[in-house]
Structure 1
Amino acid sequence: MATLHLPLKGAYFDQIKSGEKIEEYRLVTPFWTKRLEGRAYDRIELAKGYPPKGDTSRRITRLWRGARKTTITHSH
């Protein structure tokens, strides 16, 4: 199974875990384009920072529902 691993800042991880935030956004850069376009994943693993391998409280695994390009306005 192919898994996309995404480390997140703590605030965004907590929002996703609580259900307040339902999507994760990445800048359209060559780095992310290479990892997302034309690729298929079975699941996505979101991590709060870079936790040790056995720390399941700081990891969320969900089914991969795909990626799409969109324009947003954000403070960061």
Structure 2
Amino acid sequence: MANLQLAVKGEYFDAMIRGEKTEEYRLCNDYWNKRLVNRKYDCLIITKGYPKRDDFSRRIDVPYNGYEIKTITHPHFGDKPVKVFAIKVKLTRSNYVAR
């Protein structure tokens, strides 16, 4: 089955590693709708920017646990509430090991 790969800014990647960020947000629009709704993935791959293929220190591979649709206010999306896909990022010691 397929993998869902998402590139994120360093601050968000680091927050995921620390366990402070458990969801990654993507705007509810046609682009993300096509990639998430009614799709099945085995693995969620989060990268810190766009690393070289062999740079595993900037990559998180975890099982894909789906998403929820939420309404949030976040500076990245502007000052008004927006509907987003909240993609679940569940890091545990067994599914992520810092390399």
Q: How does the TM-score come out when normalised to structure 1?
A: 0.95
Instruction: Give the whole-Å Cα distance in 2 for the aligned partners of 1:3 and 1:35.
Output: 11
Give the drift of 1:2: 1.4
Aligned-partner residue type, residue 15 of structure 1: A
Residue number in structure 1 paired with 2:39: 39
Give the drift of 1:53: 0.4
Of structures 1 and 2, the one scoring higher in RCO (CA 8 A, sep 6+) is 1
Over 2 Å off, 4+ runs: none
Residue number in structure 2 paired with 1:29: 29
**Equivalent residues, number:** 76
Instruction: Give the whole-Å Cα distance in 2 for the aligned partners of 1:52 and 1:31.
Output: 25
- Residue by residue over 1:19-68, the C-alpha shift from the partner in whole angstroms, topping out at 9 and shown as x without a partner, is 11111110011111100001000110000000000000000011110112
**Which structure dedicates a bigger proportion of its chain to strand?**
2
Instruction: Give the whole-Å Cα distance in 2 for the aligned partners of 1:47 and 1:39.
Output: 21
Q: For 1:11, what is the secondary structure of its paired residue?
A: helix
Q: Which runs of 5+ in 1 are unaligned?
A: none
Root-mean-square deviation (CA, aligned residues, Å) is 0.7
Between the aligned residues of both structures, percent identity stands at 51
Q: For 1:50, what is the secondary structure of its paired residue?
A: coil
Q: How does the TM-score come out when normalised to structure 2?
A: 0.74
Residue number in structure 2 paired with 1:49: 49
